[in-house]
Amino acid sequence: MLNVRAATSFRFGLREIMSNYKVEEGVASSVIASVIAKGSRISINSARDYVLEQEKTGLYPREVTDEILDLLDRYTRHR
């Protein structure tokens, strides 16, 4: 599960990744909200799958996916 105590830092990291790669604001907001929701409510694997699916649709390049997946790994809470 995503560490919700660090949600603000996680959201900031996602926003920074999106702005560095100049992902459209509408796409970035949608992806950020979905990744946080899936990661905190369902599972990290669900969030990872979502990120990979969005890359396949062409919303952003592979580099964005790699950075988001790394960020997810850093903010994962293991039980």
Over residues 10-49, the pLDDT tens digits come to 999 999 999 999 999 999 999 999 999 999 999 999 999 9
How many whole angstroms separate alpha carbon 76 and alpha carbon 44? 7
Say if residues 24 and 61 touch (Cβ distance below 8 Å).
no
pLDDT beyond 80 at 4: no
Per-residue pLDDT, 79: 60
Name the DSSP class of 40: I
Closest of 57, 55, 76, 79 to residue 65, by C-alpha = 55
Query: Contact, 61 vs 20, CB < 8 A?
Result: no
Per DSSP, what are the bridge partners of residue 76? Answer: 2
Please state the pTM of the whole predicted model.
0.92
